Amino acid sequence: MRLVIARCQVDYVGRLTAHLPMAQRLLLVKADGSVSVHSDDRAYKPLNWMSPPCWLIEDPDVWTVQNKAGEKLVITVDEVLHDSKHELGVEPGLVKDGVEAHLQELLAEHVTTLGEGWSLVRREFPTAIGPVDLMCRDDGGKSVAVEIKRRGEIDGVEQLTRYLELLNRDPLLAPVTGVFAAQQIKPQARTLAEDRGIRCVVLDYDKLRGIEPDEYRLF
């Protein structure tokens, strides 16, 4: 990965045009060929970028990033304040926290929590874009992909949507429906999931573990 801090202006030319006036910014060049332009705010989101496949032509004072569609990101460099390259090595992938991993394990053991007559096909069902937490079959024998989170947010719904799009291309699995399961599901995530035909399930961690809460109950 290459990190360049420079005073620069950026012009995007393609389906639309966009201009960033001269200012100090971070230019991020990744090993996959992507180039993104960042400021000191907006969290992780870049001001502008070019996704791979694309290529960088670096002339004195001007970077031109272009893709196959002919779109260009033209970066005019006034001054370079920092320029360094770093080998990050192989990405081991996301490691889920203990609670989330345990939720997956418990739900796999008690898959009928999701519906009577349900059965587990496999945990960590492989796809080209990552493993689905649980692949199940409902009481009618239809495939169901289950994504499990501790806190259900929009990112999790988007992740499950991508899995479903890919899985439904497989004639041996299709039609595949989705279940978004979490201990807490944010209202925005629930709305998005239901709009996409994804069922939401709130999980009771203690109940899955077979542990009754300590507090007194009226019923």
User: Are 106 and 180 part of one and the same domain?
Assistant: yes
Range of the domain at 59: 2-85
The amino acid present at 52, given as its one-letter code, is P
Q: How confident is the model at residue 96 (pLDDT cuts 50, 70, 90)?
A: low
Residue 112 lies in a domain: yes
Q: Which residues contact 189 (CB under 8 A, 6 or more apart)?
A: 152, 153, 154, 156, 157, 180, 200
CA distance 3 to 86: 8
pLDDT of residue 89: 81
Q: Is residue 215 part of a domain?
A: no
The CATH number of whichever domain residue 72 belongs to comes to 2.70.180.20
| Element at 187 (helix H, strand E) | helix 187-195
Q: What is the pLDDT of residue 43?
A: 74
Query: Do 115 and 77 reside in the same domain of the chain?
Result: no
Statement: residue 213 has pLDDT above 60 = no
Distance CA 176, CA 170 (A): 9
Q: What pLDDT is recorded for position 92?
A: 67
Sheet containing strand 62-67, strands side by side: 48-50, 35-38, 17-29, 2-13, 72-85, 62-67, 54-59
Q: 57 with 129, same domain?
A: no
Residue 97, pLDDT > 60, answer: no
CA-to-CA distance for 124 and 106, rounded, in angstroms? 14
Question: Does the pLDDT value for residue 212 go beyond 50?
Answer: no
Per-residue pLDDT band at 93 (split at 50, 70, 90): low
Q: Which of 32, 56, 85 is the last residue of a domain?
A: 85
**What pLDDT band is residue 95 in, cutting at 50, 70 and 90?**
low
66 and 103 belong to one structural domain:
no
For residue 98, pLDDT over 60 is answered with: no
- Judged against a pLDDT cut of 60, whether residue 154 lies above it is answered with yes
As a whole-number percent, the residues of the chain with pLDDT over 70 amount to 92
Residue appearing with tokens 């990965």: 1
The pTM for the full model equals 0.54
Domain contains 218: no
Q: What is the CATH number of the domain that holds 158?
A: 3.40.1350.10
